[in-house]
Amino acid sequence: MKKTMAFVLAVLFAAASSAATGALASGRTAPDQDGFRFLDRLAVLLVKAAAPGGTGDPGQDLVLLARDLKSARAAKNVDDLFAVRYGRLLSAVRQGILKDPEVLFWPMYRHTMMDFIEERTGRMPDWKEVLFHVENHGGSGVGLAILAEAIMSEIVSLHFYLETLGRRSAVHQSYMEKGLKAAASGK
């Protein structure tokens, strides 16, 4: 258990410092900057919660992040796709820390969580390990340990998404041109 929490803390700390450095190092437009701030806030929140003597349960702070995201999206201060993916990330974190000693919620979201882990890490999580965390701990915060790699993968992916947002139209256009050229030549 201590090794797992140490790993979670190390991964979260590395990603938080990486995300913050990348966002500050390059010039960003205001909407991009808001997205980077959301990523930074989440990474810092998770590191503080997992740190020895930390808050342990970032639940209320996650709710505040979700509210701020909703406001930012309504004001068009964040990209819609970023908002959807970031909202999903907040949901995964919330489910990972949710206290559920009776394991009432697990049957409703277990497949979604397993899919999230697989999509973000490229491998299916070990079912026995997942059941150990769920059945023996009832989701009392240790769920973040099995989600840490997937969470950080999504944070990094969203970071790269924001970095390339300005070039997406040109990339899309180049693929369309390649497709049209191939269709015209019959290849």
Nearest to 120 by CA among 15, 31, 45: 15
Q: What angle do CA 115, 78, 57 make, to 5 degrees?
A: 55
pLDDT of 77 over the 80 cut: yes
Query: Own/partner pairs for 138-141, CB < 8 Å, 24+ apart?
Result: 138/99, 138/100, 138/101, 138/102, 138/103, 139/95, 139/96, 139/97, 139/98, 139/99, 139/100, 139/101, 139/103, 139/105, 139/106, 140/99, 140/100, 140/101, 141/56, 141/57, 141/97, 141/99
Question: What pTM does this model have?
Answer: 0.76
Pairwise CA distance, residues 183 & 17, whole Å: 46
Number of alpha helices (DSSP H) and beta strands (DSSP E) in the chain: 8, 0
Q: Pull the structure tokens for residue 159.
A: 């970071």
pLDDT of residue 63: 92
Q: Pull the structure tokens for residue 69.
A: 């995201």
Q: Give pLDDT tens digits for 94-152.
A: 887 777 767 777 778 778 888 998 999 999 988 777 777 666 655 554 467 778 889 99
How distant is the alpha carbon of residue 142 from its chain centre?
Answer: 17
How distant is the alpha carbon of residue 185 from its chain centre?
Answer: 42
